[in-house]
Amino acid sequence: MTHLRTTQSYLLPDLAEILRREIKLLKLIKQRVEEETDFLVSANISRLASTNSIIESLILRERKLEGHRQDLVAQIGASAGFPPGARIRLRELVPRLESNPEVEEIQRLADEIRETTDEIARLNERNNALIQFSLDFNNGLVRLLAAASNQKSFYDSAGTPVEERDQVLDCRF
């Protein structure tokens, strides 16, 4: 039991700090995903591309922290009776730890991570629906324009634009 307490007292503060840093990154990701929604709605492609690049960078940083967290959880888990090399989730580990304020804080942080990732998932689902709607709309426009010009396509089989076409619609979208 002494080894368990020593491992916990040594590693739990580090684990809590990693979780706090993950939460900060996840909240930044959530904020950027919300911005992404605005850019999708306003069709601001340059800002959308910039935001996507930032999100990718934040995700890479979060994955590094997640790797550190998994290493700490594995070390704590080994001292709590999990087999060496087992992939342990926080929700599996916390119940095996002796209850104390640090463990309660880790549980609270783990819950906050879960809630934030669930919110990000919901936002991503909404953004995917917006993207799909935009693609469907654009495909419909292409079909409309192709039908209006009495051609199946504005391109020949080699992918070269067909110059001769009736311009039934002359407008910008």
**49 φ, ψ (degrees, to nearest 5):** -65, -40
Q: Does domain 2-148 have CATH number 1.20.58?
A: yes
Q: What value does the mean pLDDT take over residues 143-157?
A: 65
Q: What value does the mean pLDDT take over residues 26-44?
A: 88
Q: Are 55 and 33 in contact (CB under 8 A)?
A: yes
Q: Are 15 and 106 in contact (CB under 8 A)?
A: yes
Going from the C-alpha of 4 to that of each of 14, 17, 90, 166, the distances in angstroms are 15, 20, 16, 80
d(CA 161, CA 62): 45
* pLDDT per position as a tens digit, 77-93: 888 888 888 888 888 88
* pLDDT per position as a tens digit, 46-76: 888 888 889 999 999 999 999 999 999 998 8
Rounded to the nearest integer, the mean pLDDT of the chain is 82
The residue ranges of every structural domain in the chain are 2-148
